[in-house]
Structure 1
Amino acid sequence: MATAKKMPSGNYRVRIYDKATGKQKSFTAETKKEAEYLANEWLTGRQKAVIKHDITVGEAVRTYIDSKNNVLSASTIRGYEIVYRNGLNGIRDINIDDLTTMQLQYWINSNAKKYSPKTLRNQFGLVTAALRQKKVRLDFDDVTLKKKTKTEIEIPTEQEIGQILRMVDGTNIELPVTLALCLGLRQSEIAALDWSDYKNDVLIINKSCVPDKNNKFILKMGNKSMASTRTLKVHGLVKERLDRARMTSGRISPMLPSSILCRFKQLCRQNGIPEYTMHALRHANASIMLLKNIPDKYAMKQLGQSSPNMIKNVYQHIFTDRQEQVADTVSNAISEILDAKLDAKNANSHK
């Protein structure tokens, strides 16, 4: 009886030697039981008739996206549409019954020239999901993807944070920048806030404004995750600026996120500050909490995250100027230790 082995991807695979071809035949499935069933079915000659598909890879992906349109988030569908339009060159017109792992590998290899490892994995994930939906069984684990590279988002220094808060004072992006930097709100959350969400010195974060598959912004009740729906206490600078701009109705920040970013970068240039993204301000907020030793539980609540792993591995960064202080502190401590030992040695030599 064939025995399945678990792959690094989490899928299970059975390999059987085919005497007729002199090659290994591979059976891969999401569960151990399914992989073994497929292999044993083939071994005993009771393999089910193969269903022939008169459909291309592009058509299979199109069908998959349409079948998930009302289930997945608008931003996810938008990402799928981008892959469908731009990422399928090389395999789009191949019949799914004729597709091989080698063709998938050449497609990945071609796309690797212009797409990041993350984007490449998203493209591959969409295609394999569409093929699995059509019951196409290929050994996807044999396809090599581009290695992940860790990229560090550049965030403003402590000094630049003060400059940013001063330079947006009184401008049309004062509130979105302040909310991103002081509360760590996402751009989609800021864009969805209206004045009814600000009451009794708290902000209620329970919706988002995101682009749909046609790149038009839509208001979505509910947020990125359950943890993202939260109520935040506001005080200090945030309260001061919200109270100064308070209105009875309408959006707190009526500008589109793209317009806010454009204006923000313009102000950064004019003030001699690197052109940071708005998302970098959210990362800066997380880094300030790290600097001030805010417990993970509270940082998660502030940023609307359900796991501390994302905060530690993605959002929290080290301020460059603080790192230099740490290096100086360690260097001085070592010098003090060395000087103390030399003093002790000299004192002993004079006895």
Structure 2
Amino acid sequence: MKQIKKILLNAEYATEFSIDERKTIFMVVNTKELLNKEIPNDANTRNFTGDQNKAVFQMINTLRKTPESFRIKNAGIRMIASEVIRNDNMVELWFKDGEGICNGGHTFEVCKIFGNSNAYVYITVEINLPKEELVDVSVALNMSKRVEDYSIGEKIGSQKWIRETLPNESLKYKEGDEGDYHVTDVLKVANLFKVGKDKKYCKNSINSSLVRKTAIVRENNKNQPLLNTKYLLPDIWELYKLIEDNQVIQENLPNRFTLMKKEEMKPKLTQGMVILFIFGTRYMTEINKNNIPKWKEGYSVERALMICEKISIQISKITKLASFKDMSAEFIYKDRRFHDKVKRIFADELLSH
């Protein structure tokens, strides 16, 4: 059953009109009316990004110092609702799933906390917009600041398979989300196991995972080419996190491949190096007759981690070669010569067993 939410707004001024048989409500609302209000943001491509958005500070400053100018400086709030009941300036709005604020979410969040009787905001509500148009409208209205591709992906549902595959992971799926990892990190890892038309792992997957994140996200938005990795992905993602935190590997490698994350206050292996280790574990997997990657017999997350710990000593020796020792960590793990040497180390280790 679809969830329906009702919002009541007491506007200073409200009017309605119809164009092409579509009704629009326009209101001038005192920002005090928005204090502590809860209006769905489901139609918006972005979530509230807080201090990450410079406009937030400017809006707060205006509301505090020159509230009378707020409606002049602000572009207002745009919403999409299913139904409206208007009694003069008293407006009752009904929202179904996927509706609500489609632009001006930051304005609303600021007014919800800092609204006052001296400041007004313009609110425009489109009534009963066809569901298939919601995404296009939201993206178009947010073009003043380019909407990130992964936010678009979340809006159109192309990341649903990741939610289903990693239901308990704390991931950021769109701008403004909170999470321990970014959905693009998952896509970069899954991309390492992308199967090509020849039913083999794609040769350039390591390069694209390291330097072509945007292309991976856009491909996923278009046709989800990594969908067949979902059966192996829970294990590979768990391995990714274990390698990132592994103290043995961190101690074996030079310090430039370890970063300290302020929010966690513990060292992490750089993402580029973690991706290289995951790339090497492809030798421990195979593609079945249905083009689905899986572990080879006898391999698992635990065994893969043990092998990574063991060969991290050899990888460390490579970083100290004349051709790499003076290079930054970023340049080393993006170097194709380094990729080839890491692949050879993994291949030799697995062939010896």
Query: What's the TM-score once normalised by structure 1's chain length?
Result: 0.27
Bigger-Rg structure (1/2)? 1
Richer in helix (by share): 1
Please, what TM-score do these two structures have when normalized by structure 2?
0.27
